[in-house]
Amino acid sequence: MAINYTEYGRGASIPSPTASSFRSIRGLGFVVVAGAAVATGLRAVELLLTWELVERFGDWERDTVDASAYLANLEEATQSISGVALTSVLVQLLASVLFVVWVYRARANAELLCSAQHRLPKVWAIVGFLPLVNWVVPPILVDDIQRASNPTTPRNAVRLFPSPLTWIVVAWWLSFVLGACTLFVAYLLSIGVRYGFAPSSGPARAGLLVQSTSLVLWTTAVVLLAVLLARVGRWQADRADGIGAEPMEQPSAPASRPAVQAAPNGGLGMVAAVLSGTVVIGPALIAIASPKYQAVRDAPDGSAAHEAAVDAWAPLTLLGTAVWAFTLFLAGVSFLAWLWRARLIAERLAPGGHLLKRGWTIGGWFVPLANLILPALVVGDVHRASRTPAHAGAATASYSMVVAGWWLSWLTTWIWTWLALLLLQPVLWWGATAFFALTAALQVTIIRQVDRGQRPAFVPNDDATLGN
Chain segment 150-176, per-residue pLDDT in tens: 888 888 887 777 777 788 888 898 899
C-alpha–C-alpha distance, residues 113 and 59, integer Å: 62
Are 404 and 294 within one domain? Answer: yes
Q: Does residue 260 sit within a domain?
A: no
Q: Which residues contact 117 (CB under 8 A, 6 or more apart)?
A: 6, 7, 159, 160, 396, 397, 398
Residue 295: per-residue pLDDT: 81
Q: Does residue 249 sit within a domain?
A: no
Q: In which region does residue 162 sit, left (phi positive, over 0), alpha (psi from -120 to 50) or beta (all else)?
A: beta
Residue 363: per-residue pLDDT: 85
Residue 391: per-residue pLDDT: 40
**Between 203 and 274, where is the model more confident?**
274
Residue 247: per-residue pLDDT: 46
Residue 224: per-residue pLDDT: 94
C-alpha separations of 81 from 69, 182, 283 in Å: 18, 18, 45
Residue 463 above 50 pLDDT?
no
CB 143 within 8 A of CB 335: no
Are 47 and 84 within one domain? Answer: yes
Are 278 and 227 within one domain? Answer: no
Q: How confident is the model at residue 11 (pLDDT cuts 50, 70, 90)?
A: very low
Are 228 and 290 within one domain? Answer: no
Residue 66: per-residue pLDDT: 60
Residue 262: per-residue pLDDT: 47
Q: Does residue 200 sit within a domain?
A: yes
Identify which of 177, 178, 181, 105 has the alpha carbon closest to the alpha carbon of residue 136: 177
Are 308 and 358 within one domain? Answer: yes
**Between 434 and 130, where is the model more confident?**
434
Q: Does residue 468 sit within a domain?
A: no
Helix 26-61 × helix 67-113 angle, to 10°: 160
Residues spanned by the domain of 348: 266-457
Are 69 and 104 within one domain? Answer: yes
Domain total for the chain? 2
Q: How confident is the model at residue 438 (pLDDT cuts 50, 70, 90)?
A: very high
Residue 108: per-residue pLDDT: 92
- Out of 199, 227, 242, a domain closes at 242
Residue 388 above 80 pLDDT?
no
Q: Does residue 464 sit within a domain?
A: no
Are 17 and 147 within one domain? Answer: yes
Instruction: Confirm whether pTM is higher than 0.75.
Output: no
User: Which helix H or strand E contains 396, and what residues bound it?
Assistant: none
Residue 57: per-residue pLDDT: 67
Across the strands, what pairs with 4? Answer: 12
Identify which of 160, 133, 166 has the alpha carbon closest to the alpha carbon of residue 148: 160
DSSP H helices in 350-459: 360-363, 374-386, 389-392, 401-423, 426-454
Identify which of 204, 215, 128 has the alpha carbon closest to the alpha carbon of residue 175: 215
Are 123 and 20 within one domain? Answer: yes
C-alpha–C-alpha distance, residues 101 and 251, integer Å: 34
Q: Is 11 helix (H, G, I), strand (E, B) or coil?
A: strand
Residue 464 above 60 pLDDT?
no
DSSP H helices in 240-303: 266-278, 281-289, 293-298
C-alpha–C-alpha distance, residues 168 and 24, integer Å: 22
Q: Does residue 465 sit within a domain?
A: no
C-alpha–C-alpha distance, residues 280 and 291, integer Å: 18
**Between 292 and 194, where is the model more confident?**
292
CB 232 within 8 A of CB 210: no
| Average pLDDT in the chain | 79
Are 12 and 131 within one domain? Answer: yes
Across the strands, what pairs with 5? Answer: 11
Residue 233: per-residue pLDDT: 92
Are 204 and 302 within one domain? Answer: no
Length of the chain: 468
Q: Does residue 167 sit within a domain?
A: yes
Q: Does residue 248 sit within a domain?
A: no
Q: How confident is the model at residue 4 (pLDDT cuts 50, 70, 90)?
A: very low
Residue 274 above 80 pLDDT?
yes
C-alpha–C-alpha distance, residues 180 and 203, integer Å: 19
- Four-CA torsion 139, 142, 148, 152, nearest 10 degrees: -80
Are 214 and 94 within one domain? Answer: yes
Are 221 and 320 within one domain? Answer: no
